[in-house]
Chain A
Amino acid sequence: MNITKRFGAVVACDAVDLTLDRGRIHGVLGENGAGKSTLMKVLIGLVIPDGGQVKIDGKVATINDPIDAATQGIGMVHQHFSLVDALTVWENVALGDVGKLRPAAIRDRVGDLSSHYGLTIDPDAVVGELPAGMRQRVEIIKCLRRDPQVLIFDEPTSVLTPAESEQLFEALRRVVDEEGRAVALVSHKLDEIRHATDAVTIMRQGKVVERIATADSDAASLARAMVGRPVSLRSESAALGVLPEPAPERDAEATVPGASSVALEIRDATARGGDGRVLLDDLSLDVRPGEILGVAGVEGNGQRELGDLMSSLLHLHGGQVTVAGTKVKTGKAGAMAAAGVAVIPEDRHDSGCVLDMTVAENLFLAEPGRVASGGVMDRKRMKQHAEALIDQYSISCQGPDAPLWSLSGGNQQRVVLARELANQPEVLVAAQPTRGLDVGAIEYMSEQLRAAAASGVAVLLISTELEEILDLADRIVVLSRGKVAGEMSRADVDLESLGLLMGGALIDEAEGGAAQ
């Protein structure tokens, strides 16, 4: 039986046709910004299309909000934003239903579903205290509870270790084969799509460019369809979500003169959150000038805290940070920046830029003194400098006086990059730098990071995308539960042990020693 979705003339999705069949896992592949999220949002009721229709089992369906979607049998497992931390598992699962609240019945159902699918979870646990992999289980149970006929998974593996991803795909296979549902797997990662799906629809710039059975495709042609031009799988592997072949030719050691001097040293960093939770646990690492140190790990293990630490947003209760030999006070406004630490933060809207200010103002956030004399800012100088930077970094905008919110995500990222690199930093911390960017922007960012390293900057790359780390890093450490769980150099990388290290804590927790 067919489930058809047809749309037209929504600007983000241009006459998109998508057909999901029961009993099959259907991949929707496309780079960030291709329109796949919007398409899914239409299915789930968060966006109303301007044209076209959705048909389920041949009948037209009207979907005005997520509750409608759920009643009609469409469920989505979101990447991040559907669980309320402060509530318990069962309360979260119940969120979005209609009708009287029946806690006992919900708890029972959670128990049933979790044992049926092998997704063990405690219904009374507070979601905020669960690690990311467990949270996804809650998301899945929340979705399955309504007995959907169509399940949509939006970039599910970003919070999972490779082993957990495997488990997830197995579970999905079970769901379609045994229960005859349809699954849509939305991703920008080639390998994942090839591995887990039966058929692929490729989207680019809002349109569907190809539909193909996975068995009939190969990586290169998928990549080409995704991006619209021939691509080198090797050099753009990170962007395409392809695990690069081992041992790329880059030879990091040779480019680092006097490699004994350490640019950034973090020793025994310990930090606790307001509620006593341990955020960083005796974390130690060092980065040398010209080296790219990749911090891998599953989201929620301290990546954000590490980024905050280097942004002067986190105060350490123990341990210290030394930049180019000088100890830096943690948590003190601007101290890291003054010491020569540049940061491209995980969420630029949160701590990287000021959306309401102009491009020029954003370019000089930390150093307004450079374009001021005697405390008064010189508009002309600011404009000149800004234009030079706009040129240098090819920032596409209406001019230095354009408000930052009018730029696209990739260009906003370039503004942040331009500002951070303009001060010739000692250390560059890049936290999830390519999140949400399209292939072109990702390539640009990767180039910039490599160039920075080549010019002697010590680069700390924090990323949950293994592909990115493997593509760029010279050395890799794994972050798990707020501390460094292991280290290896790029040349000697062993994917299996990496995966184990990333899932370190979870192996201890999972009942009956799963995770292999």
Chain B
Amino acid sequence: MTDVVAQPTENSPDEVSAAARGRHLVVSEVITLYALSIFCALALAGILVTVTGGSAADVFNALLDGSVRNPGRWGLTLGAAAPLLLVALGTIVSARAGLVNIGQEGQLLIGAAFATYVGTRLGGPGPVVVMGLCIAGIVGGAIWAGFAGALRYWRGVPEVLTTLLLATVAGSAVGYGLKNEWLLLAPAGDRANRNQVSEQLADDNRLPRITWFGNEFPTTVFLAIALAAATAFVLARTVPGFRLRMLGQNPRTAQRAGVGATRYGMASMLISGGFAGLAGAAMLAGGDFGNYQLVPGFSTNIGWTGLLVALVARERAVSAIVVAFVFAGLRTGSGFLAATGVERKITDVVQALLVLALLIPPAVLYIRERRRAVNASKERV
């Protein structure tokens, strides 16, 4: 998303080997920089905990217990990681096209809403309904992102704002839907006195879950990982992916080369929203969130966190798999914090600090890289 203005260099043999040596130094620099940044972030969080009367060690242990150590927990973590990964993938697609989509929270919610509608009304064999609701989720998310895309390409409104504002609107829209039986609200008899809740998905209409080593998680995990691999492949090796990257890196050159900004840009927004919507559908039908029912606040920040995953993963689909797991771990781990007396919100703080901390090394390295290039290019001005 940043502009790059670079310097040319003529490469004589001496320079090449010097560059190689330079690159070796850089690798150890890189690792130190990252390690230092992560350490600082965690240290800050630790200080925060201690200053407000908690024990950092307790918190750390609780997080580990809650995310992976205790029995059954890493299954939960996987279940949380799947939608995070899906949202992150969508973000990566739009980011590579040069767009700033930060409304995943809303796109996810609308996707979940569409999935609820279809999932509770479509008749037919289980697998068909599940497919149907997933597709509905994709469509819902795509439409929601599409509004922002349309406003950008036809009215010049920056999508950073529209996606954001629409995310809040999505909350209200779903809230409305959950108050009306003709939309999302469950019929009175099924509701058990709760106000805004949708019908529960029938047993057949749920995503299958599997159990490995005592950990249960939905098969969406595999879907997400497969999609991550596919996204990485498409972006790096196929013609449409190539064109998309061109658009993100230099829209004018892309225009010359036949990549219409509107067409490719809109497509990437739709895809981005579609991923978020799919995440919503997966959350609904996967079982780890809300017991197969849609409720207000259903999205529980998965959208925001998924976006952060993409940022930390530097917009690389394969890295996103690991980062999604880490952030999911923070999430499930925070469930165990009550016992330590530390407020759950600390994990939000840790997440944000981590993201900020991880922004610094690439920035510093970029500057060093440019300084080197500028110095080397002083040969030819």
Contacts and interface: CB of A to CB of B under 8 A. Distances in A.
A71 interface: no
A350 B252 contact: yes
A47 to B, nearest CB: 9
Interface of B: 4-11, 16, 237-240, 242-243, 245-246, 249-250, 252-261, 263, 373, 375, 378-381
A38 B9 contact: no
Nearest to B233: A376
A457 interface: no
A398 B11 contact: yes
12 contacts: A35-B381, A313-B256, A333-B263, A334-B255, A334-B258, A337-B258, A338-B258, A349-B5, A372-B239, A398-B16, A405-B8, A408-B8
Nearest to A405: B6
Given A11-B375, A351-B256, A355-B6, A377 B242 contact: yes
Interface stretch (A107-115, A134-142, A225-233, A361-369): A361-369
Contacts of B254: 333, 354
A452 interface: no
Contacts of B6: 355, 405
A35 B249 CA distance: 31
Interface string A1-40: 0000000001110000000000000000000011101100
Contacts of A332: 260
A434 interface: no
A30 to B, nearest CB: 10
A357 B249 contact: yes
Contact of A368 (B11, B239, B373): B239
Which 6 interchain pairs have the tightest Cβ spacing? A334-B258, A405-B6, A333-B260, A12-B378, A11-B378, A366-B257
A367 B223 CA distance: 33
B256 A312 contact: yes
A407 interface: yes
Given A332-B260, A366-B258, A406-B11, 12 more contacts: A11-B379, A311-B255, A312-B255, A333-B255, A334-B260, A338-B258, A357-B246, A368-B239, A368-B243, A379-B237, A398-B11, A408-B380
Nearest to A11: B378
Contacts of B238: 372, 375-377
A369 B239 contact: yes
A462 to B, nearest CB: 16
Interface in A22-67: 33-35, 37-38
A396 to B, nearest CB: 7
A376 B250 CA distance: 22
A355 B250 contact: yes
Given A350-B252, A351-B256, A37 B261 contact: no
Interface in A307-357: 311-313, 332-338, 343, 345, 349-357
A307 to B, nearest CB: 10
Contact size range, A:
35 or more
B255 A352 contact: no
B129 to A, nearest CB: 32
A221 to B, nearest CB: 24
A87 B7 CA distance: 30
Contacts of B246: 354, 357, 365
B243 A351 contact: no
A297 interface: no
B137 to A, nearest CB: 26
Contact of B256 (A334, A368, A377): A334
Interface of A: 10-12, 33-35, 37-38, 206, 311-313, 332-338, 343, 345, 349-357, 361, 365-366, 368-369, 372, 375-377, 379, 396-398, 405-409, 411-412, 438
Main secondary structure of the interface of B (DSSP, over half): helix
A372 B378 CA distance: 39
Contact of A334 (B7, B257, B380, B381): B257
Nearest to A416: B253
Q: Which of B16, B239, B243, B263 has the most CB of A within 10 A?
A: B239
Main secondary structure of the interface of A (DSSP, over half): loop
A361 B237 CA distance: 11
B381 A38 contact: yes
Contacts of B7: 405
A234 B311 CA distance: 57
Given A38-B378, A337-B258, A351 B8 contact: no
Contacts of A438: 380
A375 B234 CA distance: 9
B100 to A, nearest CB: 18
B79 to A, nearest CB: 33
Contacts of A351: 250, 252-253, 255-256
A375 B240 contact: yes
Given A12-B378, A37-B381, A396-B10, A405 B4 contact: yes
Contacts of B378: 10-12, 38
B260 A356 contact: no
A398 B237 CA distance: 22
A349 B7 CA distance: 11
A34 B16 CA distance: 22
Contacts of B373: 405
A313 B375 CA distance: 35
A311 B256 contact: yes
Given A38-B378, A350-B252, A356-B249, A375 B258 contact: no
B263 to A, nearest CB: 8
Nearest to B7: A405
B119 to A, nearest CB: 33
B4 A355 contact: yes
A362 to B, nearest CB: 9
B11 A377 contact: no
A354 B250 contact: yes
Nearest to A369: B239
Contacts of B9: 406-408
A372 B239 CA distance: 7
Q: Which of A338, A365, A379, A407 has the most CB of B within 10 A?
A: A365
A213 B111 CA distance: 78
B252 A377 contact: no
A335 B259 CA distance: 10
Given A361-B242, A398-B16, A12 B237 contact: no
Contact of A353 (B5, B253, B261): B253
B171 to A, nearest CB: 36
A38 B263 CA distance: 43
B134 to A, nearest CB: 24
